[in-house]
């Protein structure tokens, strides 16, 4: 029972491509509903991906035009040859409605969010090992060999950067990874700073 009319909390899941962010996020949001921010990207659509659901797919010219003239991005970054970014407006609208928001992004974008939104809660998802990360990336079968190698190289840099974020969750088993994320989201929602004096007075009045 926190106070009415309070702004939502901004959660960010970040970590290497293939580590299991998408899988964990789906399960987390099934347990704890929040607004999921759909990113914009210039990457080509994979089979099964739906425009507007998994990503807003754009050409590079369209994305660059958005960067120059559009409503703005909370963050954006180049990742292995493609642009990715978080449209600002839907996130702000959800936060102002009091809804919690989840972003799922890579490290350079997360650093921008940390700088621009000091209250954002950043959760770095680490693999149990680099060899397991490689196995998962290959198992997903979405990338060419060249792109797997580029993503693994990027992963090494990302894991070295992990300690600057608030939390590190190792996605070894999905069960434990999910338990850890649920614990973080719940604890962050219980922080005393989320309470107003009025809400506490409400306890005294009832």
- Sites of contact with ligand 5GP (CB under 6 A): 17, 21, 39, 43, 75, 77, 79, 84-86, 104-106, 109
Look-up of token digits 């003239």 = 69
Least gap, CB of 154 to ligand ADP (angstroms): 12
- List binders of ligand ADP among 33-52 (CB under 6 A): none
- What residue number has its CB nearest to ligand 5GP? 109
Buried b (16+ CB within 10 A) or exposed e, 148-186: bebbbebbeebbeebeebebebebeeeeebbebbeebbe
- List binders of ligand ADP among 130-149 (CB under 6 A): 136, 139-140
Nearest to 167 by CA among 154, 149, 181: 181
Q: CB-wise, 7 or 136, nearer to ligand 5GP?
A: 136
Q: Does 20 bind ligand ADP (CB under 6 A)?
A: yes
Least gap, CB of 204 to ligand 5GP (angstroms): 44
Least gap, CB of 131 to ligand ADP (angstroms): 13
- What residue number has its CB nearest to ligand ADP? 20
Q: Which DSSP category does 194 fall into?
A: G
159 neighbors 16 (Cβ within 8 angstroms): yes
Contacted by 84, from ligand ADP, ligand 5GP, none: CB < 5 to 8 Å by type? ligand 5GP
Binding segment for ligand ADP among 52-60, 81-89, 167-175, 194-202 (CB under 6 A)? 167-175
Q: Does 150 bind ligand ADP (CB under 6 A)?
A: no
- Tokens matching residue 80: 């292995």
**Cα separations in angstroms, 22 against 13, 29, 56, 86, 140:** 9, 11, 16, 16, 12
Look-up of token digits 């960010």 = 12
85 neighbors 63 (Cβ within 8 angstroms): yes
Q: Which of 2, 3, 7, 22 binds ligand ADP (CB under 6 A)?
A: 22
Q: Which of 18, 85, 87, 109 binds ligand ADP (CB under 6 A)?
A: 18
- Tokens matching residue 143: 């990338």
Q: Which of 9, 14, 21, 74 binds ligand ADP (CB under 6 A)?
A: 21
E strands, the chain, where?
A: 10-14, 35-36, 40-41, 56-57, 73-79, 82-87, 101-105, 121-126, 167-170
Interacting residues toward ligand ADP by CB under 6 A: 17-23, 136, 139-140, 171, 173-174, 177
């Amino acid at each position: 029972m926190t106070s009415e009319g309070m702004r939502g909390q901004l959660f960010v899941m970040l970590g290497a491509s293939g580590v299991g962010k998408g899988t964990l996020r789906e399960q987390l949001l099934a347990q704890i509903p929040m607004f999921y921010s759909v990113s914009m990207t210039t990457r080509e659509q994979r089979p099964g991906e739906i425009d507007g659901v998994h990503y807003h797919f754009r050409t590079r010219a369209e994305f660059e035009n958005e960067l120059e003239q559009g409503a703005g991005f909370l963050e954006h970054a180049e990742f292995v040859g493609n642009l990715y970014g978080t449209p600002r407006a839907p996130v702000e609208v959800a936060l102002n409605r009091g809804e919690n928001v989840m972003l799922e992004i890579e490290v350079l974008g997360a650093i921008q969010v940390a700088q621009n939104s000091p209250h954002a809660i950043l959760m770095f998802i680490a693999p149990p090992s680099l060899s397991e990360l490689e196995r998962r990336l290959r198992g997903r079968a979405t990338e060419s060999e060249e792109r797997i190698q580029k993503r693994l190289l990027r992963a090494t840099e990302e894991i070295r950067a992990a300690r600057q974020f608030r939390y590190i969750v190792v996605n070894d088993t999905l069960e434990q990874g999910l338990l850890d994320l649920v614990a973080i989201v719940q604890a962050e929602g219980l922080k005393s700073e989320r309470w107003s004096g009025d809400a506490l007075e409400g306890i005294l009045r009832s």
